[in-house]
Amino acid sequence: METTKKHNWRTKVHEIIYEADTPAGKLFDIVLLILIIASIILVMLESVNSIDEKYHKLLLIGEWFVTIFFTIEYILRIVSVKKPTKYIFSMFGIIDFLSTIPMYIAYFFVGGAQALVVLRALRLLRVFRILKLARYLGASNQLKNSIIASRVKILVFLFAVMVSSVVFGTIMYLVEGEANGFTNIPKSVYWCIVTLTTVGFGDIAPQTALGQFITTIIMVLGYGIIAVPTGIVSAEYARAVTDDKKNEDNATETEPIITIVPINTQSCSSCLAEKHLDGAKYCYKCGEGLHHE
Amino acid sequence: METTKKHNWRTKVHEIIYEADTPAGKLFDIVLLILIIASIILVMLESVNSIDEKYHKLLLIGEWFVTIFFTIEYILRIVSVKKPTKYIFSMFGIIDFLSTIPMYIAYFFVGGAQALVVLRALRLLRVFRILKLARYLGASNQLKNSIIASRVKILVFLFAVMVSSVVFGTIMYLVEGEANGFTNIPKSVYWCIVTLTTVGFGDIAPQTALGQFITTIIMVLGYGIIAVPTGIVSAEYARAVTDDKKNEDNATETEPIITIVPINTQSCSSCLAEKHLDGAKYCYKCGEGLHHE
Amino acid sequence: METTKKHNWRTKVHEIIYEADTPAGKLFDIVLLILIIASIILVMLESVNSIDEKYHKLLLIGEWFVTIFFTIEYILRIVSVKKPTKYIFSMFGIIDFLSTIPMYIAYFFVGGAQALVVLRALRLLRVFRILKLARYLGASNQLKNSIIASRVKILVFLFAVMVSSVVFGTIMYLVEGEANGFTNIPKSVYWCIVTLTTVGFGDIAPQTALGQFITTIIMVLGYGIIAVPTGIVSAEYARAVTDDKKNEDNATETEPIITIVPINTQSCSSCLAEKHLDGAKYCYKCGEGLHHE
Amino acid sequence: METTKKHNWRTKVHEIIYEADTPAGKLFDIVLLILIIASIILVMLESVNSIDEKYHKLLLIGEWFVTIFFTIEYILRIVSVKKPTKYIFSMFGIIDFLSTIPMYIAYFFVGGAQALVVLRALRLLRVFRILKLARYLGASNQLKNSIIASRVKILVFLFAVMVSSVVFGTIMYLVEGEANGFTNIPKSVYWCIVTLTTVGFGDIAPQTALGQFITTIIMVLGYGIIAVPTGIVSAEYARAVTDDKKNEDNATETEPIITIVPINTQSCSSCLAEKHLDGAKYCYKCGEGLHHE
């Protein structure tokens, strides 16, 4: 493919689908965005029995409409790139494929009751279409960098949560016992994480005085532990922001004209007063009109 | 409109109602503040059956007293500004109107049982009078700026919460099923947000071992996610504070490039513009004279 | 009272009770500390029926022992200060008085069953003895300053929580209604604060789809709002710490010998190697013994 | 002990078990890591009745395999260090011993039903093997330092939580009373901590209007209090990070007053001292030669 053949249909399609600079590209993106969200809502509504019974046909039509659109999109994405295999096995390629296929499988392989269960699970895969939205996610680099920078410390924190939960979970299993809902250690550890993260469902709750005392320690510990990841992300993020700013400052070091209050640099042609609010039409001092270029 | 007609009654009323610099203006503000809070308490008490039965008449009298005061206030606000339509369709104009009207509607349109339900809902609108308090809210600019500065990142965070909830909600619906309270995907997603935000009502709780294991992941994730907005607001706020301080330091040292401008509480009687510089004699927006005692 | 009569018994008592520098003063403080905690535990245990039935006499003896000690302490505090009225009406004077009096009232005014209820409430006042501990609280000034500095912003935040709760509480009362536990607006507002603060008892939980959707908004809002006070305290505290440090730095600017890694300034007398860990007895390079002054 | 006997079997074993620089040492560490996690999972599964009934024999075999491995490891650790008593009574020595012994006790002292309960508790001690993982925890020094630096403030915060809980717990006991689940003060204090830390199980919940109003205060207080430890850790951590960075900057610019010293993973075969400088040839504590390949 030569670069002289720039404006053949393939390039055009590529421009529309992969880029958002042209009006057609923008329109495509908006349509896709709406359809993704619509398809998520469809899957959700389908799972509500009362709605599914009433509007089954409507939901099915909607679902086929979305599926066919996604199928066309998937095919166009493949044909318009120069290395289709690269797209197909990329994360987005796989998500796009999984977003399309369940309806076809459901259509062609309708079997016994057993198969229906598997099928139902498969069709719910369509909810993962929401991940297609990631394309439109303006990645916040500062955020990403601060999380990556604090990666090791977050793992240490998760390790601390895990160890605390196992140790306290075992103790609670011994103290409360099976009679009070702590039927086994894994369940006890689960309860411990519920408590440590301050979720506190209340489906299992300590009944003995000693159990409640230990719970107190777990809760205060959990309440304190949350300070750690927050402090880390906060500090790392602050550093990322400061670094960015420092670079910026260095770049514009020569002319330090920074305005955080919306005041413009105009001076009144009549009384020479300065510090007019941005957008002011008249001088606040003498009432004379202010001129804008 | 001449600036010589400075002290007519309209200007006087404008001063009392819209400004808080004169003793009369301050008194008006305090009375209004008390009445707003009193009216909220009235609406709340009315909804408590046992109290409403006992003191129905007293509550009704109180409500009419508040309503008439608010009606007078509303009318005065309209007549004292030069462009009434601008006030009427401003946010505060609409809130003021909605705070006054329900009692009149309830009085004139008492109909059948069906109408009463609508009416009851309408009368509860009076609780939104609490928004009138926003007038007295000394806006913390540093706080507002730090929230605005982290706007995009907060949206990214909300998006992450939403996507996680949809994905995990669907998985939990599959794992736990309708028998354990996860009757449909929307409800499952709702439960997922309850867990992710560490609220944990406990009205729905996972029963299967696998469900509890996935719940563990959701909780730790939620526990970690909270670090992100906290870290962002914290860092942005720290930056806002530091910037302010730096500017202050610079101001005393070299040239005052940036100034935190003293703005007074006046609003122009002609165009309702606010945020006039202290000592300003003319409205920066319409050139109308500003009144000082 | 002359300053020449320094070492009379009054001054001695004052030294022991109010100061902690002498051995006797330290001993007094430790005894007081233990008795305060012991008295709190006594009050708590008394409220447990099963324990009170068994050990009623023992608890009573303990309580009288504590009360008599506190009485003596209270009298000594009064006689050993120069302006007794000042102490009596100070916060600690009042706490000390309220810590002592309930047992005497309970002893002298034993009346009918009705009086017993009031009495019981009164005796529980003894639990406030815990506030006597505040004397031993090394006040963290940085912490206090950072909270004072962010006072206004915390009030704005509390106002936001209050307004959100009233508005959402009323909406939930309308949406869910009395049938689902939202019996009146105050209760609905209470539920709203339970949700907004991510406590989530689960004694009341939304049942309708719309109610659950609104709950989702409240929870995410509450999850986000917590970032605000945290961010503020964090930033203000960071500033307080930085300010402190800057002052410190200025004070010791001439000799910037700061060591955060415990390495000493010794050099080996044999091979002249430096950077020995603090407390090292032998050179890490040549094995020669290191000499300490 | 001469440094000429460098490569006897003892030194070899020491290298493999205590260090992670050689391939054999690394392999040993990985095997140990897997076995620790496997043994934790074994203990957990054993506590699940349905699994224990089915796979009792398999679990027992697995448990004996792990126990024998840990026994050999324990013996090798003792024989390969020069001062075994120091290792035996070190924290890791005790953990290693407690990880090994329960199975032997369970095997030799099988007694009556009463003994079985004690035994069961004892065998659960094996879950503490998870603490053996601490060896592999790359300690985050910045994190540790920031927690140590804010130690006093965290204690003040815990004291505030304790005092608030006791005071509010007693008030709630008075207000709600035994009829609504607040049966005694300790339970009421427990409930108060559950609420203050925003866990909110919901097993006990206020029923009276006054009780719900006080609960509102407790919740908002708890929601605000969490800002304090978070703010402290955040600020202290930020300072630790900034200090590190500043030191780095200074190091490249002028004289390296402070150095972050590269410390290796070796431990002295004679006195078990760790944290040797990279390239150190002799133990800084006892002067014994350190072994390198």
pLDDT (0 to 100) of residue A1:
44
Chain D hits for C277, CB-CB cut-off 8 Å, are 275, 277, 284
Q: Would you place residue C194 in the very low, low, confident or very high pLDDT band (cuts 50, 70, 90)?
A: very high
Chain A hits for C198, CB-CB cut-off 8 Å, are 198
Chain C hits for D174, CB-CB cut-off 8 Å, are 121, 124
Q: In whole angstroms, what is the distance from residue D240 CA to residue C89 CA? A: 45
Residues on chain C bordering chain B, Cβ-to-Cβ distance under 8 angstroms: 152-153, 156, 159, 163, 166-167, 170, 173-174, 183-186, 188-189, 195, 198-202, 205, 209, 212-213, 215-216, 219-220, 222-224, 226-228, 230-232, 234-236, 238-239
**SS3 readout for chain A:** CCHHHCCCHHHHHHHHHHCCCCHHHHHHHHHHHHHHHHHHHHHHHHHCHHHHHHHHHHHHHHHHHHHHHHHHHHHHHHHHCCCHHHHHCCHHHHHHHHHHHHHHHHHHCCCCHHHHHHHHHHHHHHHHHHHHHHHHCCCCHHHHHHHHHCHHHHHHHHHHHHHHHHHHHHHHHHHHCHHHCCCCHHHHHHHHHHHHCCCCCCCCCCCCHHHHHHHHHHHHHHHHHCHHHHHHHHHHHHHHHHHHHHHHHHHCCCCCCCCCCCECCCCCCCCCCCCCECCCCECCCCCCECCCC
pLDDT higher than threshold 70 for residue C23: yes
Q: Percentage of residues in chain A with pLDDT exceeding 70?
A: 66
Determine which of A114-128, D165-179, D217-231 has the lowest per-residue pLDDT on average.
Answer: A114-128
Helix (H) or strand (E) holding B108: helix B91-108
Q: Could you say which of C237, C260, C288 has the minimum Cβ distance to residue D235?
A: C237
CA distance D199 to chain B (A): 8
Q: The tokens of D29 are what?
A: 């560490």
Chain D residue closest to B232 (CA)? D234
What number of CA atoms fall less than 13 Å from residue C292's CA on the CB side?
A: 8
Q: In whole angstroms, what is the distance from residue A236 CA to residue D78 CA? A: 43
Please check whether residue B59 is in contact with residue B44, taking contact to mean a CB–CB distance below 8 angstroms.
no
CB contact under 8 A, C234 and D235: yes
**Of D231, A161, A134, which is closest to residue B167 (Cα–Cα)?**
A134
Q: What is the mean pLDDT of residues A192-213?
A: 91
Q: What is the separation, in whole angstroms, between the first and last Cα of chain D?
A: 19
Please check whether residue D222 is in contact with residue D191, taking contact to mean a CB–CB distance below 8 angstroms.
no
Count CB atoms within 10 A of the CB of residue C138. 10
Q: In whole angstroms, what is the distance from residue C88 CA to residue C148 CA? A: 28
Partner residues linked to A277 by β-bridges: A263
pLDDT higher than threshold 60 for residue A249: no
Count CB atoms within 10 A of the CB of residue B199. 30
The whole-chain average pLDDT of chain D stands at: 76
Q: Would you place residue D188 in the very low, low, confident or very high pLDDT band (cuts 50, 70, 90)?
A: very high
pLDDT higher than threshold 80 for residue D216: yes
pLDDT higher than threshold 60 for residue C35: yes
CB contact under 8 A, A230 and B232: no
CA distance C250 to chain B (A): 17
Q: In whole angstroms, what is the distance from residue A243 CA to residue D273 CA? A: 39
pLDDT (0 to 100) of residue B259:
32
pLDDT (0 to 100) of residue B39:
85
Chain A hits for B163, CB-CB cut-off 8 Å, are 130-131, 133-134
CB contact under 8 A, A203 and B199: no
Please check whether residue A284 is in contact with residue B261, taking contact to mean a CB–CB distance below 8 angstroms.
no
> What are phi and psi for residue C276, nearest 5 degrees?
-85, 145
Q: What is the mean pLDDT of residues D62-75?
A: 90
pLDDT per residue rounded down to tens, chain B (293 residues):
444 454 578 888 888 887 777 888 888 888 888 888 888 888 888 888 888 899 989 988 998 898 899 899 899 989 888 888 888 998 878 888 888 888 887 777 655 445 555 656 666 676 776 776 665 655 456 667 777 777 777 777 777 788 889 889 988 998 898 889 899 889 999 999 999 988 999 889 999 999 999 999 999 888 777 777 777 777 777 777 666 655 555 444 333 333 334 455 566 666 666 555 555 666 666 666 665 54
Q: Would you place residue D123 in the very low, low, confident or very high pLDDT band (cuts 50, 70, 90)?
A: low
Please check whether residue C234 is in contact with residue C253, taking contact to mean a CB–CB distance below 8 angstroms.
no
Please state the ipTM of this predicted complex. Answer: 0.74
Determine which of A149-163, A180-194, C137-151, D210-224 has the lowest per-residue pLDDT on average.
Answer: C137-151
Q: Which amino acid is at C220?
A: V
Q: Could you say which of B200, B230, B231 has the minimum Cβ distance to residue D200?
A: B200
Looking at per-residue confidence, does D9 or B172 come out higher? Answer: B172
pLDDT higher than threshold 50 for residue A106: yes
Q: Would you place residue C255 in the very low, low, confident or very high pLDDT band (cuts 50, 70, 90)?
A: very low
Q: In whole angstroms, what is the distance from residue D32 CA to residue D25 CA? A: 11
Chain C hits for B39, CB-CB cut-off 8 Å, are none
Tell me the domains of chain D and their CATH numbers.
2-132 (1.20.120), 141-250 (1.10.287.70)
Q: Which amino acid is at A87?
A: Y
Q: Could you say which of A200, A230, A231 has the minimum Cβ distance to residue C200?
A: A200
pLDDT higher than threshold 70 for residue A196: yes
Q: The tokens of B274 are what?
A: 């606010």
CA distance D231 to chain B (A): 9
Looking at per-residue confidence, does B55 or A137 come out higher? Answer: B55
pLDDT (0 to 100) of residue D52:
86
Please check whether residue C257 is in contact with residue C275, taking contact to mean a CB–CB distance below 8 angstroms.
no
Q: In whole angstroms, what is the distance from residue D174 CA to residue D182 CA? A: 9
Q: In whole angstroms, what is the distance from residue D93 CA to residue B144 CA? A: 55
Chain A hits for C200, CB-CB cut-off 8 Å, are 199-200
pLDDT (0 to 100) of residue A210:
93
CA B146 to chain centre: 18
Residues on chain A bordering chain D, Cβ-to-Cβ distance under 8 angstroms: 152-153, 156, 159, 163, 166-167, 170, 173-174, 183-186, 189, 195, 198-202, 205, 209, 212-213, 215-216, 219-220, 222-224, 226-228, 230-232, 234-236, 238-239
Partner residues linked to B263 by β-bridges: B277
Q: Which amino acid is at B292?
A: H
CB contact under 8 A, D170 and C232: no
> What are phi and psi for residue D263, nearest 5 degrees?
-110, 135
pLDDT higher than threshold 50 for residue D2: no
Determine which of A87-91, B77-81, D56-60, D116-120 has the lowest per-residue pLDDT on average.
Answer: D116-120
Q: Which amino acid is at D254?
A: T
CB contact under 8 A, B154 and C224: yes
pLDDT (0 to 100) of residue D193:
93
The sign one gets for the Cα dihedral B59, B64, B67, B69 is negative
CB contact under 8 A, C215 and B233: no
pLDDT higher than threshold 50 for residue C256: no
Q: In whole angstroms, what is the distance from residue D199 CA to residue A157 CA? A: 20
Please check whether residue C152 is in contact with residue B140, taking contact to mean a CB–CB distance below 8 angstroms.
yes
The whole-chain average pLDDT of chain C stands at: 75
Q: What is the mean pLDDT of residues C72-87?
A: 88
Tell me if residue B277 falls in helix, strand or coil. Answer: strand
What is the DSSP annotation of B11-73? HHHHHHHH--SSHHHHHHHHHHHHHHHHHHHHHHHHHSHHHHHHHHHHHHHHHHHHHHHHHHH
CA distance C276 to chain D (A): 8
Determine which of C146-150, D12-16, D29-33 has the lowest per-residue pLDDT on average.
Answer: C146-150
Q: In whole angstroms, what is the distance from residue A37 CA to residue B166 CA? A: 11
Q: The tokens of A222 are what?
A: 């959990």
Task: Using alpha carbons, list the distances in angstroms from residue C141 to B7, C146, C149, C244, D152.
Answer: 52, 8, 12, 11, 12
CA distance D197 to chain B (A): 11
Q: Would you place residue C272 in the very low, low, confident or very high pLDDT band (cuts 50, 70, 90)?
A: low
In tens, the pLDDT along A212-248 reads 999 999 998 887 777 777 777 777 777 776 666 565 5
Q: DSSP assignment, residue C282? A: B
CB contact under 8 A, C200 and B202: yes
Chain B hits for D216, CB-CB cut-off 8 Å, are none
pLDDT (0 to 100) of residue B1:
44
Q: The tokens of A245 are what?
A: 């700013």
Q: In whole angstroms, what is the distance from residue D39 CA to residue A83 CA? A: 49
CA distance C15 to chain B (A): 45
Q: In whole angstroms, what is the distance from residue C72 CA to residue C59 CA? A: 20
pLDDT higher than threshold 60 for residue D86: yes
Q: The tokens of A34 are what?
A: 């709406």
Chain D residue closest to B48 (CA)? D209
CA distance C8 to chain D (A): 37
pLDDT higher than threshold 60 for residue D138: no
Task: Using alpha carbons, list the distances in angstroms from residue D150 to A114, B214, C233, C237, D221.
Answer: 59, 34, 14, 12, 21
Q: In whole angstroms, what is the distance from residue A110 CA to residue A108 CA? A: 6
Rg (CA), chain C: 30
CB contact under 8 A, B146 and C231: yes
Q: In whole angstroms, what is the distance from residue C281 CA to residue D237 CA? A: 33
Q: Could you say which of A140, A263, A282 has the minimum Cβ distance to residue B152?
A: A140
Please check whether residue C288 is in contact with residue C268, taking contact to mean a CB–CB distance below 8 angstroms.
yes
Chain A residue closest to B151 (CA)? A140
pLDDT higher than threshold 70 for residue D164: yes
How many residue pairs from chains A and B have C-beta atoms closer than 8 A? 184
Looking at per-residue confidence, does B271 or A108 come out higher? Answer: A108
Please check whether residue D225 is in contact with residue D157, taking contact to mean a CB–CB distance below 8 angstroms.
yes
In tens, the pLDDT along B170-226 reads 889 988 988 898 998 899 999 999 999 889 998 899 999 999 999 999 998 887 777
Q: Would you place residue D34 in the very low, low, confident or very high pLDDT band (cuts 50, 70, 90)?
A: confident
CB contact under 8 A, D216 and C161: no
pLDDT (0 to 100) of residue C218:
92
**Highest mean pLDDT out of B99-108, D59-68, D232-241:** D59-68
Those residues whose C-beta lies under 8 Å from the C-beta of residue A261, and which sit 6 or more positions away, are: B258, B259, B260, B261
pLDDT higher than threshold 70 for residue D110: no
Q: Would you place residue A263 in the very low, low, confident or very high pLDDT band (cuts 50, 70, 90)?
A: very low
Chain C hits for B238, CB-CB cut-off 8 Å, are 231, 234-235, 238-239
Please check whether residue C215 is in contact with residue B190, taking contact to mean a CB–CB distance below 8 angstroms.
yes
In tens, the pLDDT along C105-159 reads 777 765 544 555 565 666 667 677 677 666 565 545 666 777 777 777 777 778 7
pLDDT (0 to 100) of residue A115:
54
Burial class (CB in 10 A: 0-12, 13-18, 19+), D36: buried
Q: In whole angstroms, what is the distance from residue A265 CA to residue D178 CA? A: 70
pLDDT (0 to 100) of residue D252:
41
pLDDT higher than threshold 50 for residue D258: no
Count CB atoms within 10 A of the CB of residue D145. 17
